Amino acid sequence: MSFKVLSIENFPSVEIHQFPSSVEETIMWLNELDQLLIEGVPFVLVYPVFDPIKFMAIDEKVSQESRKKTILWLKSQRALFEEKCKGILLQLKPDGSDAELVEGQRKQVETVYRVPAKVLYPEQDQTILVNELLS
């Protein structure tokens, strides 16, 4: 399977190229996560920099349907996801100006996914944080 939403180029860092903005992209993302879970090797999911403009442009009906699919997927894959996804990194803008917003999202991400989440500050080394989450 070739990945389109996720990048496994720097595995065990699994980077989301661009967060899904349609139901079709959400389904593709969940299918790619399924593939990672089937492989059975622990990984860390790395979110892209949050783009509030793009987020606000998503149709509310599409957003709700995508969230519903994600929640149903999480319910069915919860135990395996918690076992294999050792954490989620949330990236900041290069100038770190969105730190407060992303720190707030971190708590929500931990609540939804039930795995540790860390904020990747511009001066931090992603590899070090990934290794911390994997250990």
Domains, the chain: 6-134 (3.40.50)
Q: Has residue 1 got a pLDDT over 70?
A: no
Q: Which two tokens stand for residue 117?
A: 């989440």
CA-based end-to-end distance of the chain: 28
pLDDT tens figures, 25-84: 999 999 999 999 999 999 999 999 987 777 777 788 988 999 999 999 999 999 999 999
Q: Model's pTM, two decimal places?
A: 0.90
For residue range 71-123, list pLDDT tens digits in order: 999 999 999 999 999 999 999 999 999 999 999 999 999 999 999 999 999 98
At residue 101, φ and ψ (nearest 5 deg) are: -60, -50
Three-state SS for 46? strand
Of the pLDDT bands very low, low, confident and very high (cuts 50, 70, 90), residue 11 is: very high
